[in-house]
Structure 1
Amino acid sequence: MSPEPSSCTIILVAGPSGSGKSRLSSQTGVPQVRLDDFYFDHDHPDLPVRSLPGGGSIVDWDDVRTWDLAGATSTLAGLSRTGSATVPNYDISRSQAFGSHQFNAAGSPAVICEGIFAIDLLAPLQQEGVPVEAIWLDRPRWFNFVRRLQRDLRQRRKPPSVLVRRGIALLRLEPALRRRALAAGFTPLGMAAAAAEVEGISRSRQPH
């Protein structure tokens, strides 16, 4: 399906938790949608569970079944066409949504949509005819582990013992996640190259 005339290009930014996806938006000045806001609530039925190293288990929030893929696809398709959309507000520490907000791209020719499930969005958005670019933010694995742990401890997202064990599990899974992103059509770029790519996409979409 060929892309319809639209207000903005969707730039999907994937990468492990802690790789700096949110920072990319602040560096480039391009408006950003947090894909984490589309998580299901903790009491949603049949959420997948992951066993943690050393024992115990938690909801596997890194499994796409914990996330509203259909809702995110519909919202971003509408955003691309009109430049605005209603987006949920999600509290990671409580694993629960509380209301929503109106996101407005303010005339920007591009919008960054970042999160670990960006990989799963590429094909559905393409099928909807949405103009979309896909970047995998390529950073060293231990760099991601440290940044993720520092952020999650600072924000008190979960108990420290859970955060450490979850971080180790994510560290082990990262190479497979990267392979899946590249196979889906994402381009691996470091932070500086990704910023340049985003700025280039935004400039190319400016009206002449």
Structure 2
Amino acid sequence: MTPTPIPTRVVLLAGPSGSGKSSLAARTGLPVLRLDDFYKNGDDPTLPLVAGSADIDWDSPLSWDAEAAVAAIAELCRTGRTTVPVYDISASARVGEEAFAIDRTPLFVAEGIFAADIVARCGELGVLADALCLRGRPTTTFRRRLARDLREGRKAVAFLLRRGWRLMRAERGIVARQTGLGAYPCDKGEALGRVAAAAAGRHRTSPAGHPTADATPPGRP
């Protein structure tokens, strides 16, 4: 008798910019889909602006192609492979595309600041294992974000300082919004435990009503 194949699911990892999503995703040892690669190009006429400013609001979900991100996740869960854009943040543009494959891995992580915006859609498609929102101290997030952005030359220094100050003041509201969209707020330790539980196939229903992993410390059955 042919065994029933294990369905592939995704853990959506959200959180404010600089909260440590990428480093935590790497620590899971799972394939990681970078949702920030689905940003719109800088010349897209639909890009939103920061209120009272000429700056593009790259922290608004309107600056991001949610439909393309969901399509890529769905294809990965269905076939184990997809094609994703390659995005250059310093140029605010997609500079190419590349193949991305998870092979037969039954679980992968999709991380990005807009991951919570697709929790409901992934739940409807039946591919959601868990949705998490990393939270911490706004001042720590500010320092980590600024150091990363300066190191990588993501934008002009003046822009990074304006954005960093704005995001630090807004951080608690950002976490509250992502939690309201169905992402479970937690620190890195708890997040790793929930990913471990999802990998072990343990799920429960959260207060938000979507399937999430039953939290278990990493390395424990």
Q: TM-score, normalised by structure 2?
A: 0.84
Contact 1:16 1:116 in 2 (8 A): yes
Partner of 1:85: 82
Deviation at 1:140, TM superposition (A): 1.2
**1:180 paired to 2:177:** yes
**1:108 paired to 2:105:** yes
Deviation at 1:51, TM superposition (A): 4.6
Question: In structure 2, the residue corresponding to 1:26 is in which secondary structure?
Answer: helix
Question: In structure 2, the residue corresponding to 1:44 is in which secondary structure?
Answer: coil
Deviation at 1:29, TM superposition (A): 0.5
Partner of 1:44: 44
Q: In structure 2, which of residues 92, 95, 102 is the aligned counterpart of residue 95 of structure 1?
A: 92
Distance 1:158 1:168 in 2: 15
Name which of structure 1's ranges 143-152 and 18-27 shifts more when overlaid on structure 2: 18-27
Deviation at 1:203, TM superposition (A): 2.6
Deviation at 1:125, TM superposition (A): 1.5
Distance 1:159 1:72 in 2: 27
Partner of 2:116: 119
Partner of 1:23: 23
Amino acid of the residue matched to residue 109 of structure 2?
I
Amino acid of the residue matched to residue 193 of structure 1?
E
Name which of structure 1's ranges 61-70 and 180-189 shifts more when overlaid on structure 2: 180-189
Contact 1:7 1:107 in 2 (8 A): no
Unpaired segments ≥5 residues, structure 1: none
Amino acid of the residue matched to residue 57 of structure 1?
A
Distance 2:8 2:179 in 1: 24
Distance 2:82 2:6 in 1: 14
Distance 2:175 2:156 in 1: 27
Identity of aligned residues (%): 41
Contact 2:120 2:182 in 1 (8 A): no
Q: TM-score, normalised by structure 1?
A: 0.90
Partner of 2:68: 71
Contact 1:7 1:83 in 2 (8 A): no
Q: How many residues align?
A: 198
Higher relative contact order (CA 8 A, sep 6+): 1
**CA deviations over 1:144-179 (Å, ceiling 9, x no partner):** 100000000000111111101100111121111111
Aligned structure 1 segments of 4 or more residues deviating by more than 6 angstroms: none
Contact 1:6 1:81 in 2 (8 A): no
Deviation at 1:6, TM superposition (A): 6.4
Partner of 2:147: 150
Structure 1 vs Structure 2 CA RMSD: 1.6
Amino acid of the residue matched to residue 136 of structure 1?
C
**CA deviations over 1:103-125 (Å, ceiling 9, x no partner):** 11132221111111111111111
Distance 2:184 2:39 in 1: 25
Contact 1:122 1:132 in 2 (8 A): no
Partner of 1:61: 58
